[in-house]
Structure 1
């Protein structure tokens, strides 16, 4: 029978696992005997290489060796999170503006040139997933089709959809897209083998992403209370800081680092980082013309270089706690996962934040996410033999939305349809009407964020629907936002009068990690700020409704004189708000004045 597997598709390393017949979880080994495989793809003249073989080509053929592709998923080519890092391979923009990678495999002298090829991030990720699937098939000895794939908790809809697409491109039946810390919490709860409810904080610092989730666990049930994180912070960023430090040190000594020497230095920085987890000092070496040019770094210097990034993770921990509406004392267990959680300063800061509470390392940090995904895969797969599987259908998960979702309404107002930290799968419906006379089409922006003003949030897509030309407020469109079990959003709109329907899925995103963190910290998680935003929304809605009331009245009066007065009132009020930033008090007062003037005009 085919097996179900869990795959942790990581930024720097990937890992796969499956459940054995004795209900234990086994982590798949690659051809080198390692349980984690570099998330690297090399494009050669004849074939592609994945994993260690591809990693080895980063030094000799960097232009055709793609790494950190997870950071490109669901992003545009001009995204600041892509452009702020130097990559040796060529990054292009598709016609839609999405990021793509172009490679031109090298050829030997005298041989026919190979054409350049362009790949989207989903394709390159699918090669990694395919490789992990093949490794699993070789180890298990039977076919593998069903899989659960993990993503960072703060991945948006476009990134989740891109990951699901990559899995399907790899030939996998993607059972579920699950958040990485949720998977780790499931693995931890499964290992406890206890039916007692425990509130667990999962601190997941990997090679390229950071997530923190607060989860209520009870056996095979995991109820996510909140999540926070940064999709562009991890071990690779610490390596980059060490690379910049050592480059500056060597340059001061008159040593120039050539492009072909950069990867060797980068690898030495990665090794130095690992050494500093067990030693107070480490050496970073650059091999030039067969000779070693070295510089030394201390653990304290390394901690100073990275302290801002470390502090960002603690800020996310605070955000998650506030959003979950729990206090530090009510958290039973603090579970550290992800390879970078081994850094002593990280452990010290987390332990200090919780009053020196004991940290849990029950599962190897590099394997925890894949193990949790494998447990869920076993539970979900219809191909698993029922008599063999003791957990078939037993896993119960309730994850939450990382951001609020909604659409735009008049006067720069964000109408929230699904609020942040709503458990999914979920669906919610709202009714909207036309804001202007004689519209033949209504446009619904698909928006993600926390500000009361839609202009301060991020547009994920658009859904358009034709409508009958009617006076303002007389068209009614039912708008439904649905998030499936994978956290992927679909939008459906229906004209109530004509029955016309349209649907849309989010395909692109322009969010950066800093913007995400800013939205979480400065809007949603601070209760005071949330209250301000809600008040702003209510004030703008009051103003908008007052103006729309006047517009509707225009069509109900037969007096030319009154019509003229009403149109002047509309023109004056729309001119007043245009380009301005009125206070809530001014908006409410203005709305009240509009109603009074409307009453006066319409008096017999």
Structure 2
């Protein structure tokens, strides 16, 4: 193996190839780099296909994967096998989706747990991390083709409101795509950098970043002081964006053509065709006054800009309300904002631009391409990390990931490597067995997905957890890393207040060579590590399902028929047999079969309990 130098102050591998900036978006994604000679950030346009790569993944019947513009065409012809808006699912469980679960044209699996969502395509199961990785692979391939050089390192942006789970999911997607993710950067920070704000360390500014993308809206108030970006406040809506402007047009056409909404919802092809026509109309009306078209020569798609603006005004007003709340949280007035930056393709809508400018009392800055601005800023951050901008100070960062062991011997990252220090991060966990009163907290350092490949730093027991059913205790595990590199790990059971903590001394006794080797191993074994993680997660899901169903049969078997019990036991046996295959798709398919077969049982038992209660009997 060739020896690779490492910069311990950033934890970054010192290689010659370019570091790219990636905007992994809900609707569209981009990759950018800083030109080594002109020092200009540039969005990559590979083969003249445009800089924008739609965040759409299509799986063909032959098992091939198509990404981007070509995949977008299948939203109409094959919606069940075409995945879009996957960023909305990153780090989310099925329960997190709530009323929005029917928005998606593809099948999202409900495994009746707090686990992360899975998407079923045919007989295969994908996590949002898998699908995001497919988009990142496409961006990486385009960058390598355009730049004629290997691309192994990247800076990836996320919304400022993304929690730790969503940020870690983004890192995992990068790893699966074969990228070393040097830093996760907030999108508003990247946008400000693209406009040159914060590059001069003597500059002090308060900036509002208004970001209206395809599927999400957020407003961030940033304070920039001595090159340090502090997010003072964020507000917004993860289910509001250009898609909602499109939907307003669709609803208008449904009324105009006297279409039945239920018919539209059941006919996925027609609904997607309407969606794409509405998106086209929105773009035309950003510069023109009228849009005219047809679907199948029978559905007239006509709308004027005046009608469009009247339809979307409530949506735009909602974003302005978010701006008002963000300012209140930051304890600022519109007059105290020095610059307003516009991000996201939907900010091209004239009503959006004028509303934002009027609210802040100054013209918003939209001189850069709003689709590209975040990726350009990410490229600038990548250039800084590469050490090409000597005038910018980088804060100290932790060189290796810190995390704890979870079920199946997996490493759950709490503080990712390259995080600025001092820092604090945490996750919430629960018990997996009824009546569990102790929880072992094992702290590890390293980049591999399996803890056995990483270095154990400490271990302690959280004792005295009240005996409750599995899943009821809520245990917060917090990592606090101070400026001296001393790590304090604390675990608190929230219902009882039971607490335990341990302190780990700085540097953890690793030499530069050991850190270098751990990083190299994580890159070399990335794909097999992720595959192993997926199998373990599938096994864990299966074991939890078996536990729940068998306990349900024990307690409520009297309410089921003999045939139902026999079928359930047969599916339980098939699920047990699938565990011996070590194939995640086989295991998850067996989980899905058992879940679909037994899900009506819980509702039936609930109805029986309600009838008993109404009759004055005790509910067991």
- TM-based fold match above 0.5: yes
Asked if the contact 1:190–1:219 (Cα under 8 Å) also holds between the matched residues in 2, the reply is: no
**Residues 366-385 of structure 1 deviation map (CA, whole Å, 9 limit, x = unaligned):** 0110111111112124xxxx
Match of 1:328 in 2: 334
Match of 2:320 in 1: 314
Match of 1:467 in 2: 463
Q: Does 1:198 align with 2:214?
A: no
Q: Does 1:493 align with 2:491?
A: yes
Task: State TM-score, norm by structure 2.
Answer: 0.61
Query: How far is the alpha carbon of 1:192 from its aligned partner?
Result: 8.4
Counterpart of 1:279 (choices 272, 276, 288) is 288
Match of 1:9 in 2: 24
Query: How far is the alpha carbon of 1:254 from its aligned partner?
Result: 12
Asked if the contact 2:198–2:228 (Cα under 8 Å) also holds between the matched residues in 1, the reply is: no
What is the CA–CA distance in structure 2 between the aligned matches of 1:285 and 1:194, rounded to whole Å? 55
Match of 2:570 in 1: none
Match of 1:250 in 2: 257
What is the CA–CA distance in structure 2 between the aligned matches of 1:130 and 1:483, rounded to whole Å? 33
What is the CA–CA distance in structure 2 between the aligned matches of 1:93 and 1:354, rounded to whole Å? 43
The 4+ residue runs of structure 1 with deviation greater than 6 A are 191-194, 253-256, 494-501
What is the CA–CA distance in structure 2 between the aligned matches of 1:163 and 1:255, rounded to whole Å? 36
Query: How far is the alpha carbon of 1:191 from its aligned partner?
Result: 9.6
Counterpart of 2:144 (choices 101, 126, 137) is 137
Query: How far is the alpha carbon of 1:220 from its aligned partner?
Result: 5.1
Match of 2:471 in 1: none
Match of 2:531 in 1: none
Counterpart of 1:368 (choices 370, 373, 386) is 373
Query: How far is the alpha carbon of 1:175 from its aligned partner?
Result: 1.1
Find the residue that maps to 1:189 and give its secondary structure. coil
Match of 1:531 in 2: none
Find the residue that maps to 2:142 and give its secondary structure. helix
Cα RMSD of the aligned pairs, angstroms, is: 3.8
Asked if the contact 1:215–1:226 (Cα under 8 Å) also holds between the matched residues in 2, the reply is: yes
Match of 1:602 in 2: none
Find the residue that maps to 1:88 and give its secondary structure. coil
Match of 1:584 in 2: none
What is the CA–CA distance in structure 2 between the aligned matches of 1:53 and 1:174, rounded to whole Å? 27
Match of 2:184 in 1: 177
Shift of the 497–266 alpha-carbon distance from structure 1 to 2, 3 Å rule, reads closer
Query: How far is the alpha carbon of 1:358 from its aligned partner?
Result: 1.5
What is the CA–CA distance in structure 2 between the aligned matches of 1:330 and 1:498, rounded to whole Å? 42
* Gapped regions of structure 1 (runs ≥ 5): 105-115, 399-422, 430-438, 445-462, 471-476, 502-506, 508-604
Query: How far is the alpha carbon of 1:86 from its aligned partner?
Result: 3.4
Match of 1:337 in 2: 343
Task: Within 5 Å, give how 1:61-460 maps onto structure 2.
Answer: 61-80=78-97, 83-94=100-111, 96-104=114-122, 116-189=123-196, 195-217=202-224, 221-252=228-259, 258-286=267-295, 288=296, 291=297, 293-355=299-361, 357-381=362-386, 389-391=388-390, 394=393, 426-427=423-424, 441=438
Shift of the 168–285 alpha-carbon distance from structure 1 to 2, 3 Å rule, reads same
Asked if the contact 1:186–1:222 (Cα under 8 Å) also holds between the matched residues in 2, the reply is: no
What is the CA–CA distance in structure 2 between the aligned matches of 1:251 and 1:146, rounded to whole Å? 52
Counterpart of 2:55 (choices 39, 53, 59) is 39
Counterpart of 1:18 (choices 25, 33, 45) is 33
Asked if the contact 1:147–1:176 (Cα under 8 Å) also holds between the matched residues in 2, the reply is: yes
What is the CA–CA distance in structure 1 between the aligned matches of 2:89 and 2:488, rounded to whole Å? 22
Asked if the contact 2:79–2:268 (Cα under 8 Å) also holds between the matched residues in 1, the reply is: no
**Residues 59-106 of structure 1 deviation map (CA, whole Å, 9 limit, x = unaligned):** 2211111111111112222434564543321111246543111112xx
Match of 2:11 in 1: none
Query: How far is the alpha carbon of 1:157 from its aligned partner?
Result: 2.0
What is the CA–CA distance in structure 1 between the aligned matches of 2:27 and 2:182, rounded to whole Å? 24
**Residues 510-569 of structure 1 deviation map (CA, whole Å, 9 limit, x = unaligned):** xxxxxxxxxxxxxxxxxxxxxxxxxxxxxxxxxxxxxxxxxxxxxxxxxxxxxxxxxxxx
What is the CA–CA distance in structure 2 between the aligned matches of 1:254 and 1:347, rounded to whole Å? 32
Query: How far is the alpha carbon of 1:427 from its aligned partner?
Result: 3.1
Query: How far is the alpha carbon of 1:236 from its aligned partner?
Result: 1.5
Query: How far is the alpha carbon of 1:187 from its aligned partner?
Result: 1.2
Task: State TM-score, norm by structure 1.
Answer: 0.62
Shift of the 81–467 alpha-carbon distance from structure 1 to 2, 3 Å rule, reads closer
Query: How far is the alpha carbon of 1:145 from its aligned partner?
Result: 1.3
Asked if the contact 2:153–2:182 (Cα under 8 Å) also holds between the matched residues in 1, the reply is: yes
Q: Does 1:29 align with 2:50?
A: no
What is the CA–CA distance in structure 2 between the aligned matches of 1:335 and 1:150, rounded to whole Å? 17
Find the residue that maps to 1:79 and give its secondary structure. helix
